[in-house]
Structure 1
Amino acid sequence: MLKRLLFFASLSIQIIACKTSEEKSNPNKLTITENGRFLAAGDNKPFFWLGDTGWLLFGRLTREETETYLENRKQKGFTVIQVMVLHTLDVTNVYGDSALIGQNVATPLVTEGNSFSDSAQYDFWDHVDFVVDKAAEKGIYMALVPVWGNNVKKGGVNQQQAKIYSEFLANRYKNRPNIIWLNGGDIKGSDSLDVWKTIGRTINQLDSTHLITFHPRGRSSSSEWFHNEPWLDFNMVQSGHKTYAQDTSAKETLHYGEDNWRYIQTDLALKPTKPTIDGEPSYEGIPHGLHDVNLPRWTADEVRRYGYWSVLAGGFGYTYGHNSVMQMYKKGDKKTSFGPIETWDKAIDAPGAGQMIHLKNLLLAYSFFDRVLDQTLIANQGNRYDYLVASRGTDYALIYTYTGRNIKLNMGKLPGNSVAASWFNPRDGQTTAIGDTPNKGIQEFNPPAEPKEGNDWVLVLQTK
C-alpha cells in the first residue's frame, strides 16, 4: 500500500513539474512583467507590440490576399494585427458567408466541417480560424475586437447576448497561441458599461491564458472606466486623429491634442501599475480630423512622432495604422470611409509602414524592462512639436526630437566620466557616431540638418 501511495505521489509530482515546465517554456504566452509596465513572451523575453490596424481583415480579404498582407507585415516587423471580429451585426465575408443568424451575436452561424473546397462547410468562422492560424505561422498575434462598439451603443447587443457570444469566442480561441482580446471598439466605456464588463469577465473566466484590454474612443484611455477591473491586463489609449486646433470638443475631458505622450504618462501614474500603449494614433494617409477629405493628410513623419513620443514616454509598444489598409480598400469599392486613395495592396508599402521596424529594433537593442521616462535629463524643454522625450535604462539614454532642434542635457544620470553619443535616424534605422562626451554639467547636441518638422532624430547615450 505504501509503495502504491509513493508511486502515485511521484507520478503527481512529475505531472505538475511537466505542466509547470511547459507553461514556462511556452514561447508564445504573453505575460505582464513584475514591474507592471511591459509585456514579456515565453520565458520573460521582451515583447515589443508593433501593431497594425487591419480592422476589416476577416471580412474583406480572401485567403490569398490574407497571405499577401500577413507576409508583408511579418517582413516589416509587425508583431500584432488589430482586427474586428464583427464590424457590423450583418457582416459577411468576401466569400458571402454571414457571421450570425438573424444579426444576433448569441447565434453565430456555424456549419459542420471546415473544408475550403466545400462552400457548404467553409463558413465565416472557419475563415477567421484560417487567418488566425496563418498569422500564428508567421509569428504574429491577433488582437481581436469581439464586436465593434457602435453595434452595442445602438442597442444591438444586450448583456445576455454578450455573455453567450463571449463564451463562444473564448471557447473557440482559448487554445490558439496568438490571441489577444480587445474589448470595446472605438467606444467610451460608459456607453453600455455593463455589456463591456460582461464581455471582459466572461472571456477572462474561460480564457485566462490570453491578455485582455479595451479599445476606447478617440482621445481617451481604457483606464477611465476599467483600470481596476480584474480582467483588464493592460491599458490602451486612442490618441485619435485630430490636430491641436481640432481638439476642442466639449464632450471630451482630455484635450491633449497631438501630445499622445500625455496619455501614457497619465496611465502609468495610476495604481496599480498596468502597462499602456497608444493603440490608435493618427493613421498615415487619413485626413486631419477624419471627415473632411479636402484637409491635409497625416504622413509618415507624424506617425513616427506618435510612435517615438509614446514609447519613450513609457508605452510598451505602438500601433501603426493606414487609412487604406485599416479598411482593406479595393478599387471600385462603393462604401468607403475617410476618402482612401491608394488600394490596400499598395498602401501596405507606404513609407511609415516600412519605418516602424526601426522603432522596434531600437528599443530591443537595449535593456528593455528597466527603461523609465526621465525628463530631468532635458535642460531645454519645448512645447508641441519642439517637445523632447527622454527615456533611459541603467546604462543608456534615448532622447527624441521631432524637429531636429538642438538638445541640451543635464548629464550625470548615467554612470561614468564620459558617455558614447550617437544619432539614430528613425527614417532608415542608421546610426551615426558623435563620439565621447563628458558626463557632467549641461552638454548640447546638434542634430544633423536644419531644424524642421519631420527632421526627427534619437540621441543615444551609452555608458562606456
Structure 2
Amino acid sequence: MSLPSVKVSENGRFLITEDGSPFFYLGDTAWELFHRLTLEEADLYLTVRSNQGFNVIQAVILAELDGLHTPNANGHIPLIGDDPTKPNEYYFRHVDSIIKLAEKKGIYMGILPTWGDKVHSELWGIGPAIFDRSNAYLYGKFLGERYRDFNNIIWILGGDRPGEGYEDIWTSMAKGISEGLGRKPIITYHPTGGQSSSQWFHNMEWLSFNMWQSGHCLVDAPNWDMIRSDYDKTPIKPVIDGEPNYEGHPIDPYLRKWKPEYGRFTDYEVRKQAYRAVFSGACGHTYGHHSVWQMYDERYKPTTFPSVYWYEAIYAPGAKQMIHLKNLLLSFPYFTRIPAQDMLIGITPPPSPKDIDDRINDKRASYPVATRDKEGSYALIYFTFANQTLNIDTSSLLGHVIKASWFDPRTGERYYIGEFSKGTLKFTSPLGGPDWVLILEV
C-alpha cells in the first residue's frame, strides 16, 4: 500500500494528504525504534499502534542512547568511523524495512536524521558532535535520495536541542534532504523542553510546521499558551506539541533528584495536555510513554526510572485513549476549526510556572480550553475536572437552539444532554471522569 504524501493545508493551519483529506497528526514517540528493536519486534509495536489509531511514529536514525557506537538489534552501527558521509548499508537496510513495514500498516514515520547531540553535545548527551555544514548537507542528500520513493515520511530535524548557534547546520541538512528528494519535503524541528522550532526557524522556507516540546518537568505545563503563541505568528504555519509529558514518566526528574513520592504522569495528565493543545489550535498531538521511547526491556540499561518493559507499556491506558481525540475532531468540519477561549466567561489564563517548586498549580490544573467552528456549527469545551461549572457564551454559534452532549475522552462515548436556547449557558461536568468534553451543536 502506497500512502499519499502529507502537506500543509491551504489556510496554513492544518496538515492534509495530497488528495485534500484532513490529516490529524496522531504521533507516538519511539525514538529508539530503529536502534533497539528487531524487525519482528517492530512489527509487534507498529501493529499495536496502528490498531490504536496512531498514524505517525517519531523515531531517530542516529539515536540518542549511544546510537553511533552501540550496535542496533542486528549488530550494526549506522556510520563507518563516525563519518556522516559513510553510512553503513546494513544498518540502513534495517531502517528501510521498518519504514516499509509502517507503510503497510498505514503509518507515517516522523524521521529524525539524528539526535541533537551529534550536532552539539556540550549541553548533555553522549555525542560525539560529528556534523558541520558540509557533511550535514551530504548526509541529508543521502537520506533524500535513499527515501525519494517513500511517501510516508515526515522529516524532523533537531532532536531535543535548541537551534541557536547551529542554524546553518540544520539548514544545510534540510537543503540536502530537499535536493536528494527532488522536491520540497514536509519538515519540522524538534526542540528541547519549553521551546519551539519557531524560535529559530519560523521564517525559514524549509520549515513546514512548528513543533513544541512542552516536556516532563511540570504537571500541567501550559502548552495551551505555547501552541497559541505559534498559532498567532505570521507567516501562518501549523503547530503541534511533539513531546509533551509521557505516560509513566517520573514527574520532574531533571531539575531535582526524583523521588517516588513525586509520582509519574498518568493517562489523565496525558489527556489534559493533548486536549488542551489541540483545542488551542494544534494540528494534532504526539503521545509518549516513558518505557516506549527508549524501548526499555531486559536487554537494556534503564534511562530515568522506567517502570515496565516496552512490550507491556504499549497497552497503557493513555495510548488506547488518544484515538478518541482524533475521531472527535474528524467528526466535525475540520478546516474551519479555531481556538475559542473567548466563549468561556470569567476564565483567565493561569500564571506560568516561575520555578521548580511551582510543579503543582491549581489554576493550571483546572484550566479549561474551548475550540469551535468559525462558521458557527459547533463548539467543543474541555472540562478538566468532574463537577466543574463553566459559563459559556454561545453567541458565536448559529441558530437559536443548541444541542448539548458530554463526550467521554476515555471511551469515546457521547451522552446527550438536551436542547437549550442560545445565550450564556451554564454546564457542570458529570461525576466520574475526571475530565469531559462538552459538545455544542446547532
Q: TM-score, normalised by structure 1?
A: 0.86
Q: 1:157: Cα distance to partner?
A: 1.4
State the alpha-carbon separation in 2 of the partners of residues 188 and 273 from structure 1. 22
For 2:79, the aligned partner's letter is L
- What does residue 95 of structure 2 align with? 128
1:281 corresponds to which of 225, 244, 258: 244
SS in 2 for 1:355: helix
Alignment of 1:10-89 (within 5 A): 28-87=4-63, 88-89=67-68
- What does residue 339 of structure 2 align with? 373
Judge conservation of contact 1:293–1:338 (CA < 8 Å) in 2: no
Judge conservation of contact 1:145–1:184 (CA < 8 Å) in 2: yes
Correspondence 1:148 to 2:130: no
Q: 1:272: Cα distance to partner?
A: 0.3
Correspondence 1:269 to 2:248: no
Correspondence 1:300 to 2:267: yes
SS in 2 for 1:153: coil
Judge conservation of contact 2:140–2:175 (CA < 8 Å) in 1: no
Count of aligned positions: 409
Correspondence 1:340 to 2:306: yes
Q: 1:64: Cα distance to partner?
A: 0.9
Judge conservation of contact 2:137–2:174 (CA < 8 Å) in 1: no
Judge conservation of contact 2:142–2:177 (CA < 8 Å) in 1: no
SS in 2 for 1:206: helix
- What does residue 12 of structure 1 align with? none
SS in 2 for 1:107: coil
1:195 corresponds to which of 166, 169, 181: 169
Alignment of 1:107-256 (within 5 A): 107-110=86-89, 123-154=90-121, 155-207=129-181, 208-243=183-218
State the alpha-carbon separation in 1 of the partners of residues 259 and 149 from structure 2. 43
Correspondence 1:461 to 2:428: no
For 1:415, the aligned partner's letter is L
- What does residue 433 of structure 1 align with? 416
Correspondence 1:325 to 2:292: yes
- What does residue 393 of structure 2 align with? 410
Judge conservation of contact 2:141–2:179 (CA < 8 Å) in 1: no
Q: Give CA deviations for 1:398-418 in whole Å, capped at 9, x if unaligned.
A: 000111311210122111111
SS in 2 for 1:409: strand
Q: 1:191: Cα distance to partner?
A: 4.4
SS in 1 for 2:138: helix
For 1:406, the aligned partner's letter is T
Shift in CA distance, 93/241, structure 1 to aligned 2, threshold 3 Å: same
- What does residue 363 of structure 1 align with? 329
Structure 1 segments (4+ residues) deviating >3 Å: none
For 1:312, the aligned partner's letter is F
Higher alpha-carbon deviation: 156-165 or 142-151: 156-165
- What does residue 21 of structure 1 align with? none
For 1:131, the aligned partner's letter is I
Structure 2 unpaired stretches of 5+:
122-128, 349-362
Q: Give CA deviations for 1:11-55 in whole Å, capped at 9, x if unaligned.
A: xxxxxxxxxxxxxxx861111111100001131100010000011
Q: 1:210: Cα distance to partner?
A: 3.1
CA-atom RMSD in angstroms: 1.4
Judge conservation of contact 1:51–1:81 (CA < 8 Å) in 2: yes
Judge conservation of contact 1:37–1:275 (CA < 8 Å) in 2: yes
Q: 1:332: Cα distance to partner?
A: 4.5
SS in 1 for 2:26: strand
State the alpha-carbon separation in 2 of the partners of residues 183 and 293 from structure 1. 33
Structure with bigger gyration radius: 1
Q: 1:177: Cα distance to partner?
A: 1.5
Q: Give CA deviations for 1:392-442 in whole Å, capped at 9, x if unaligned.
A: 1120000001113112101221111111100000111111101001112x1
- What does residue 366 of structure 2 align with? 386
For 1:213, the aligned partner's letter is T
Shift in CA distance, 204/95, structure 1 to aligned 2, threshold 3 Å: same
For 1:380, the aligned partner's letter is G
State the alpha-carbon separation in 2 of the partners of residues 206 and 261 from structure 1. 36
State the alpha-carbon separation in 2 of the partners of residues 266 and 375 from structure 1. 14
- What does residue 396 of structure 1 align with? 378
SS in 2 for 1:106: coil
Shift in CA distance, 101/332, structure 1 to aligned 2, threshold 3 Å: closer
Q: Give CA deviations for 1:84-125 in whole Å, capped at 9, x if unaligned.
A: 010132242101011110011121012xxxxxxxxxxxx111
SS in 1 for 2:418: strand
- What does residue 445 of structure 1 align with? 427
2:82 corresponds to which of 75, 82, 103: 103
State the alpha-carbon separation in 1 of the partners of residues 283 and 140 from structure 2. 27
For 2:191, the aligned partner's letter is P
Judge conservation of contact 1:29–1:209 (CA < 8 Å) in 2: no
Judge conservation of contact 1:29–1:210 (CA < 8 Å) in 2: no
For 1:54, the aligned partner's letter is A
For 2:169, the aligned partner's letter is V
Higher alpha-carbon deviation: 373-382 or 73-82: 373-382
State the alpha-carbon separation in 1 of the partners of residues 342 and 171 from structure 2. 39
State the alpha-carbon separation in 2 of the partners of residues 47 and 209 from structure 1. 18
Identity %: 43
Judge conservation of contact 2:145–2:180 (CA < 8 Å) in 1: yes
For 1:437, the aligned partner's letter is F
Q: 1:209: Cα distance to partner?
A: 5.0
Q: Give CA deviations for 1:172-195 in whole Å, capped at 9, x if unaligned.
A: 012112011001100001142221
2:276 corresponds to which of 309, 320, 324: 309
State the alpha-carbon separation in 1 of the partners of residues 437 and 253 from structure 2. 30
State the alpha-carbon separation in 2 of the partners of residues 178 and 421 from structure 1. 38
Structure 1 unpaired stretches of 5+:
1-25, 111-122, 245-256
State the alpha-carbon separation in 2 of the partners of residues 306 and 174 from structure 1. 35
SS in 1 for 2:40: helix
For 2:265, the aligned partner's letter is W
Judge conservation of contact 1:217–1:238 (CA < 8 Å) in 2: yes
For 2:366, the aligned partner's letter is D
